[in-house]
Amino acid sequence: MNSREKYKILIIRFSSIGDIVLTTPVVRCLKQQLGAEIHYLTKYNYRQILDPNPHVDQVFTIQSRVGEVLSKLKMEKYDFIVDLHRNLRSRKVKTALHTRHKSFNKINLQKWLIVNLKVDRLPRVHIVDRYLDTVRGLHVENDGYGLDYFIRPEDELDLSTLSLGAPYLAFVIGAAHKTKCLPAEKIIRICQSSNFPIALLGGPGEKELGEVVAQKSGLHVHNFCGQFNLGQSASLVKQARRVITHDTGLMHIAAAFEKDIVSIWGNTIPDFGMYPYNPENSFENKMVEIDELPCRPCSKIGYDSCPKKHFNCMKQIDESRIIDLLN
Protein backbone atom coordinates (compact mmCIF):
# COMPACT_ATOMS: atom_id res chain seq x y z
CA MET A 1 0.00 0.00 0.00
CA ASN A 2 1.16 3.55 -0.56
CA SER A 3 1.31 6.37 1.95
CA ARG A 4 -2.02 7.95 1.05
CA GLU A 5 -4.30 8.66 3.97
CA LYS A 6 -7.06 6.51 2.44
CA TYR A 7 -6.66 3.23 0.55
CA LYS A 8 -8.24 3.12 -2.91
CA ILE A 9 -9.52 -0.33 -3.79
CA LEU A 10 -11.10 -1.66 -6.99
CA ILE A 11 -13.57 -4.55 -6.72
CA ILE A 12 -14.34 -6.53 -9.88
CA ARG A 13 -17.53 -8.51 -10.39
CA PHE A 14 -19.08 -8.22 -13.84
CA SER A 15 -22.28 -10.19 -13.29
CA SER A 16 -24.92 -11.20 -12.39
CA ILE A 17 -27.59 -9.90 -10.00
CA GLY A 18 -27.20 -12.50 -7.26
CA ASP A 19 -23.43 -12.70 -7.54
CA ILE A 20 -23.09 -8.94 -7.16
CA VAL A 21 -25.41 -8.85 -4.15
CA LEU A 22 -23.30 -11.61 -2.62
CA THR A 23 -20.21 -9.35 -2.83
CA THR A 24 -21.78 -6.65 -0.64
CA PRO A 25 -20.27 -7.90 2.65
CA VAL A 26 -16.81 -7.44 1.09
CA VAL A 27 -17.73 -3.90 0.01
CA ARG A 28 -19.10 -2.98 3.44
CA CYS A 29 -16.25 -4.52 5.44
CA LEU A 30 -13.59 -2.80 3.33
CA LYS A 31 -15.34 0.54 3.69
CA GLN A 32 -16.07 0.30 7.41
CA GLN A 33 -12.94 -1.46 8.63
CA LEU A 34 -10.34 0.27 6.44
CA GLY A 35 -12.14 3.50 5.63
CA ALA A 36 -11.15 2.74 2.05
CA GLU A 37 -12.33 4.48 -1.08
CA ILE A 38 -14.21 1.73 -2.90
CA HIS A 39 -14.58 1.58 -6.66
CA TYR A 40 -16.49 -1.22 -8.40
CA LEU A 41 -16.20 -2.53 -11.96
CA THR A 42 -19.22 -4.33 -13.40
CA LYS A 43 -21.33 -4.60 -16.54
CA TYR A 44 -23.54 -1.67 -17.42
CA ASN A 45 -26.79 -3.60 -16.88
CA TYR A 46 -25.95 -4.17 -13.21
CA ARG A 47 -25.01 -0.63 -12.27
CA GLN A 48 -28.44 -0.10 -10.69
CA ILE A 49 -27.50 -2.59 -7.96
CA LEU A 50 -24.43 -0.61 -6.93
CA ASP A 51 -25.32 3.06 -7.45
CA PRO A 52 -27.51 3.31 -4.31
CA ASN A 53 -24.94 1.50 -2.14
CA PRO A 54 -23.43 4.09 0.27
CA HIS A 55 -20.30 1.95 0.67
CA VAL A 56 -19.41 2.29 -3.03
CA ASP A 57 -17.73 5.57 -3.99
CA GLN A 58 -17.59 5.10 -7.75
CA VAL A 59 -18.93 2.58 -10.26
CA PHE A 60 -17.23 1.83 -13.58
CA THR A 61 -19.09 -0.20 -16.20
CA ILE A 62 -18.44 -1.98 -19.47
CA GLN A 63 -20.75 -3.15 -22.21
CA SER A 64 -18.55 -6.07 -23.26
CA ARG A 65 -14.80 -5.24 -23.25
CA VAL A 66 -12.61 -4.00 -20.42
CA GLY A 67 -10.79 -1.87 -22.97
CA GLU A 68 -13.75 0.50 -22.70
CA VAL A 69 -12.60 1.65 -19.26
CA LEU A 70 -8.93 0.71 -18.88
CA SER A 71 -7.65 4.23 -19.52
CA LYS A 72 -9.92 5.61 -16.79
CA LEU A 73 -8.99 2.85 -14.36
CA LYS A 74 -5.25 3.49 -14.89
CA MET A 75 -5.73 7.10 -13.85
CA GLU A 76 -7.12 6.02 -10.46
CA LYS A 77 -3.83 4.44 -9.25
CA TYR A 78 -5.40 1.77 -7.06
CA ASP A 79 -3.66 0.35 -4.03
CA PHE A 80 -5.34 -3.03 -4.36
CA ILE A 81 -7.67 -4.96 -6.68
CA VAL A 82 -10.16 -7.47 -5.29
CA ASP A 83 -11.05 -9.80 -8.14
CA LEU A 84 -14.36 -11.49 -7.31
CA HIS A 85 -14.99 -12.71 -10.86
CA ARG A 86 -11.67 -14.30 -11.87
CA ASN A 87 -12.08 -14.61 -15.60
CA LEU A 88 -10.24 -13.45 -18.70
CA ARG A 89 -11.69 -9.92 -18.48
CA SER A 90 -10.66 -9.44 -14.87
CA ARG A 91 -7.19 -10.81 -15.65
CA LYS A 92 -6.80 -8.17 -18.36
CA VAL A 93 -7.65 -5.47 -15.83
CA LYS A 94 -5.14 -6.75 -13.29
CA THR A 95 -2.42 -7.05 -15.93
CA ALA A 96 -3.05 -3.53 -17.23
CA LEU A 97 -3.11 -1.84 -13.83
CA HIS A 98 0.07 -3.40 -12.41
CA THR A 99 -0.96 -3.31 -8.75
CA ARG A 100 -1.43 -5.74 -5.91
CA HIS A 101 -4.44 -7.99 -6.24
CA LYS A 102 -6.15 -11.09 -4.92
CA SER A 103 -8.68 -13.35 -6.63
CA PHE A 104 -11.29 -15.51 -4.99
CA ASN A 105 -11.37 -19.30 -5.20
CA LYS A 106 -14.01 -20.38 -7.72
CA ILE A 107 -13.67 -24.07 -6.69
CA ASN A 108 -14.07 -24.99 -10.37
CA LEU A 109 -12.34 -28.35 -9.92
CA GLN A 110 -14.61 -29.37 -7.08
CA LYS A 111 -17.68 -28.30 -9.06
CA TRP A 112 -16.49 -30.23 -12.12
CA LEU A 113 -15.94 -33.36 -10.04
CA ILE A 114 -19.44 -33.39 -8.58
CA VAL A 115 -21.19 -32.39 -11.82
CA ASN A 116 -19.34 -34.86 -14.07
CA LEU A 117 -18.19 -37.68 -11.80
CA LYS A 118 -20.49 -37.21 -8.79
CA VAL A 119 -17.40 -37.09 -6.59
CA ASP A 120 -18.14 -34.67 -3.75
CA ARG A 121 -15.16 -32.55 -2.75
CA LEU A 122 -17.15 -29.36 -2.18
CA PRO A 123 -15.80 -27.38 0.81
CA ARG A 124 -19.18 -26.50 2.42
CA VAL A 125 -18.11 -22.87 2.56
CA HIS A 126 -20.53 -20.17 1.49
CA ILE A 127 -19.39 -18.07 -1.47
CA VAL A 128 -19.57 -14.94 0.73
CA ASP A 129 -16.85 -16.41 2.94
CA ARG A 130 -14.77 -17.29 -0.12
CA TYR A 131 -15.21 -13.71 -1.33
CA LEU A 132 -14.10 -12.44 2.08
CA ASP A 133 -11.01 -14.66 2.01
CA THR A 134 -9.64 -12.38 -0.71
CA VAL A 135 -9.35 -9.45 1.71
CA ARG A 136 -8.13 -11.20 4.85
CA GLY A 137 -4.59 -10.17 3.94
CA LEU A 138 -5.76 -6.57 4.38
CA HIS A 139 -6.78 -7.45 7.96
CA VAL A 140 -10.47 -7.31 7.08
CA GLU A 141 -12.82 -9.73 8.82
CA ASN A 142 -16.41 -10.81 8.31
CA ASP A 143 -18.59 -8.49 10.39
CA GLY A 144 -21.40 -11.04 10.39
CA TYR A 145 -24.08 -8.61 9.25
CA GLY A 146 -25.10 -10.44 6.09
CA LEU A 147 -25.93 -9.01 2.69
CA ASP A 148 -26.86 -5.45 1.68
CA TYR A 149 -29.34 -4.21 -0.85
CA PHE A 150 -30.26 -0.55 -1.18
CA ILE A 151 -33.33 0.68 -3.07
CA ARG A 152 -33.48 4.10 -4.67
CA PRO A 153 -36.28 6.21 -3.12
CA GLU A 154 -38.03 6.49 -6.48
CA ASP A 155 -38.20 2.68 -6.71
CA GLU A 156 -39.95 2.18 -3.37
CA LEU A 157 -43.48 1.01 -4.22
CA ASP A 158 -46.64 2.13 -2.45
CA LEU A 159 -48.72 -1.03 -1.99
CA SER A 160 -51.94 0.97 -1.86
CA THR A 161 -51.51 1.75 -5.56
CA LEU A 162 -51.23 -1.92 -6.55
CA SER A 163 -54.47 -3.42 -5.21
CA LEU A 164 -52.30 -5.97 -3.46
CA GLY A 165 -53.58 -6.99 -0.06
CA ALA A 166 -51.19 -7.34 2.84
CA PRO A 167 -49.69 -9.46 4.19
CA TYR A 168 -48.77 -11.09 0.88
CA LEU A 169 -46.29 -13.62 -0.45
CA ALA A 170 -43.74 -12.80 -3.16
CA PHE A 171 -43.23 -15.68 -5.59
CA VAL A 172 -40.17 -15.40 -7.87
CA ILE A 173 -41.28 -17.69 -10.69
CA GLY A 174 -38.32 -17.36 -13.05
CA ALA A 175 -34.56 -17.90 -13.12
CA ALA A 176 -31.75 -17.56 -15.63
CA HIS A 177 -32.16 -21.19 -16.71
CA LYS A 178 -35.29 -23.31 -17.11
CA THR A 179 -33.82 -26.25 -15.19
CA LYS A 180 -33.86 -24.05 -12.08
CA CYS A 181 -37.63 -23.51 -12.32
CA LEU A 182 -40.66 -25.50 -11.26
CA PRO A 183 -43.03 -26.58 -14.03
CA ALA A 184 -45.95 -24.17 -14.50
CA GLU A 185 -48.52 -26.63 -13.19
CA LYS A 186 -46.73 -26.90 -9.86
CA ILE A 187 -46.46 -23.11 -9.56
CA ILE A 188 -50.19 -22.88 -10.23
CA ARG A 189 -51.09 -25.48 -7.60
CA ILE A 190 -48.95 -23.66 -5.01
CA CYS A 191 -50.67 -20.38 -5.82
CA GLN A 192 -54.14 -21.92 -5.78
CA SER A 193 -53.54 -23.28 -2.28
CA SER A 194 -52.27 -20.06 -0.71
CA ASN A 195 -54.20 -18.39 2.10
CA PHE A 196 -52.43 -15.11 1.27
CA PRO A 197 -52.33 -12.79 -1.73
CA ILE A 198 -49.39 -13.56 -4.01
CA ALA A 199 -47.21 -11.17 -6.03
CA LEU A 200 -45.60 -12.99 -8.96
CA LEU A 201 -42.14 -11.58 -9.72
CA GLY A 202 -39.85 -12.00 -12.68
CA GLY A 203 -38.53 -10.27 -15.74
CA PRO A 204 -40.09 -9.74 -19.17
CA GLY A 205 -39.32 -13.37 -20.01
CA GLU A 206 -41.71 -14.52 -17.29
CA LYS A 207 -44.55 -12.13 -18.18
CA GLU A 208 -46.51 -14.66 -20.25
CA LEU A 209 -46.05 -17.40 -17.66
CA GLY A 210 -47.16 -15.00 -14.95
CA GLU A 211 -50.34 -14.21 -16.88
CA VAL A 212 -51.17 -17.92 -17.19
CA VAL A 213 -50.46 -18.57 -13.51
CA ALA A 214 -52.55 -15.62 -12.34
CA GLN A 215 -55.45 -16.51 -14.64
CA LYS A 216 -55.57 -20.12 -13.45
CA SER A 217 -54.84 -19.48 -9.76
CA GLY A 218 -57.47 -16.95 -8.70
CA LEU A 219 -57.98 -13.27 -7.99
CA HIS A 220 -55.58 -13.34 -5.05
CA VAL A 221 -52.63 -13.85 -7.46
CA HIS A 222 -51.18 -10.74 -9.14
CA ASN A 223 -48.74 -10.87 -12.05
CA PHE A 224 -45.99 -8.23 -11.81
CA CYS A 225 -43.49 -10.04 -14.05
CA GLY A 226 -41.92 -7.62 -16.49
CA GLN A 227 -43.85 -4.71 -15.02
CA PHE A 228 -41.19 -3.33 -12.69
CA ASN A 229 -37.45 -2.70 -12.76
CA LEU A 230 -35.12 -4.54 -10.39
CA GLY A 231 -35.32 -1.94 -7.63
CA GLN A 232 -39.12 -1.92 -7.72
CA SER A 233 -39.22 -5.72 -7.66
CA ALA A 234 -36.86 -5.58 -4.69
CA SER A 235 -39.32 -3.22 -2.99
CA LEU A 236 -42.05 -5.85 -3.37
CA VAL A 237 -39.69 -8.47 -1.93
CA LYS A 238 -38.86 -6.17 0.98
CA GLN A 239 -42.53 -5.65 1.88
CA ALA A 240 -43.58 -9.30 1.52
CA ARG A 241 -44.51 -11.57 4.40
CA ARG A 242 -42.45 -14.41 2.93
CA VAL A 243 -40.63 -15.11 -0.33
CA ILE A 244 -40.89 -18.23 -2.46
CA THR A 245 -38.06 -18.39 -4.95
CA HIS A 246 -35.94 -20.47 -7.25
CA ASP A 247 -32.13 -20.22 -7.21
CA THR A 248 -31.94 -16.70 -8.65
CA GLY A 249 -30.95 -13.10 -7.92
CA LEU A 250 -34.09 -12.06 -6.06
CA MET A 251 -33.46 -14.92 -3.63
CA HIS A 252 -30.30 -13.15 -2.48
CA ILE A 253 -32.08 -9.79 -2.38
CA ALA A 254 -34.68 -11.42 -0.11
CA ALA A 255 -31.84 -12.63 2.13
CA ALA A 256 -30.45 -9.08 2.26
CA PHE A 257 -33.82 -7.94 3.62
CA GLU A 258 -33.89 -10.86 6.07
CA LYS A 259 -37.16 -12.17 4.69
CA ASP A 260 -38.33 -15.67 5.53
CA ILE A 261 -37.53 -17.69 2.40
CA VAL A 262 -38.71 -20.93 0.85
CA SER A 263 -36.06 -21.67 -1.78
CA ILE A 264 -36.64 -24.34 -4.43
CA TRP A 265 -33.69 -26.14 -6.00
CA GLY A 266 -33.61 -28.05 -9.27
CA ASN A 267 -30.46 -28.91 -11.20
CA THR A 268 -28.23 -26.78 -8.94
CA ILE A 269 -27.55 -27.60 -5.30
CA PRO A 270 -27.15 -25.47 -2.17
CA ASP A 271 -23.81 -27.19 -1.50
CA PHE A 272 -22.28 -25.10 -4.29
CA GLY A 273 -22.30 -22.42 -1.55
CA MET A 274 -24.84 -19.98 -3.00
CA TYR A 275 -27.84 -20.63 -0.78
CA PRO A 276 -29.43 -17.64 1.06
CA TYR A 277 -26.72 -16.13 3.25
CA ASN A 278 -27.87 -15.93 6.86
CA PRO A 279 -24.91 -15.61 9.27
CA GLU A 280 -27.02 -14.39 12.20
CA ASN A 281 -29.93 -16.81 11.62
CA SER A 282 -32.11 -13.71 11.40
CA PHE A 283 -34.67 -15.30 9.07
CA GLU A 284 -36.02 -18.71 8.15
CA ASN A 285 -34.66 -20.40 5.04
CA LYS A 286 -36.47 -23.58 4.13
CA MET A 287 -34.77 -25.30 1.19
CA VAL A 288 -36.83 -27.71 -0.89
CA GLU A 289 -34.97 -30.15 -3.12
CA ILE A 290 -34.86 -33.79 -4.20
CA ASP A 291 -31.94 -35.38 -2.36
CA GLU A 292 -30.12 -38.46 -3.59
CA LEU A 293 -31.08 -37.95 -7.24
CA PRO A 294 -28.17 -39.62 -9.10
CA CYS A 295 -28.07 -37.10 -11.96
CA ARG A 296 -28.09 -34.03 -9.72
CA PRO A 297 -26.32 -31.63 -10.02
CA CYS A 298 -26.14 -31.82 -13.80
CA SER A 299 -24.61 -28.35 -14.14
CA LYS A 300 -23.10 -25.65 -11.96
CA ILE A 301 -25.37 -23.15 -13.72
CA GLY A 302 -28.27 -24.68 -15.63
CA TYR A 303 -29.81 -25.54 -18.99
CA ASP A 304 -32.77 -24.55 -21.12
CA SER A 305 -34.11 -28.10 -20.74
CA CYS A 306 -33.25 -31.23 -18.80
CA PRO A 307 -30.32 -33.04 -20.48
CA LYS A 308 -31.78 -36.36 -19.27
CA LYS A 309 -35.24 -35.46 -20.64
CA HIS A 310 -37.06 -36.43 -17.41
CA PHE A 311 -36.57 -33.25 -15.27
CA ASN A 312 -37.01 -35.30 -12.08
CA CYS A 313 -35.17 -32.72 -9.97
CA MET A 314 -38.26 -30.51 -10.25
CA LYS A 315 -41.02 -32.89 -11.29
CA GLN A 316 -40.50 -35.07 -8.22
CA ILE A 317 -40.87 -32.14 -5.82
CA ASP A 318 -44.16 -32.50 -3.95
CA GLU A 319 -45.69 -29.04 -4.00
CA SER A 320 -47.61 -29.85 -0.82
CA ARG A 321 -44.25 -29.57 0.98
CA ILE A 322 -44.00 -26.00 -0.20
CA ILE A 323 -47.64 -25.22 0.56
CA ASP A 324 -47.22 -26.47 4.15
CA LEU A 325 -44.29 -24.08 4.63
CA LEU A 326 -46.29 -21.07 3.44
CA ASN A 327 -49.61 -21.24 5.30
Domain ranges in the chain? 8-138, 153-326
| pLDDT attached to residue 209 | 98
Q: Quick one: pLDDT at residue 165?
A: 81
Distance separating alpha carbons of residues 190 and 63, to the nearest angstrom: 39
Instruction: Check if 8-138 and 153-326 are the same fold.
Output: yes
pLDDT at 327: 75
What is the per-residue pLDDT for 4? 56
pLDDT of residue 166: 81
Distances from the Cα of 27 to the Cαs of 23, 31, 108, 146, in angstroms?
7, 6, 24, 12
How far apart, in whole angstroms, are the C-alpha atoms of residue 101 and residue 193? Answer: 52
Longest dimension (CA), the chain: 65
Query: What is d(CA 257, CA 48) in angstroms, rounded to the nearest whole number?
Result: 17
Q: What is the pLDDT of residue 237?
A: 98
Helices and strands per DSSP (H, E), number in the chain: 13, 11
What predicted TM-score, i.e. pTM, was given to this entire model? Answer: 0.96
pLDDT at 3: 47
The CATH class, in words, for 153-326 is alpha beta
Pick the CATH number of 8-138 from 3.40.50.2000, 3.40.50.300, 3.30.1300.10, 3.90.180.10: 3.40.50.2000
User: Within the chain, which residues score under 50 in pLDDT?
Assistant: 1, 3
Rounded to whole angstroms, the Cα distance separating 38 from 29 reads 11
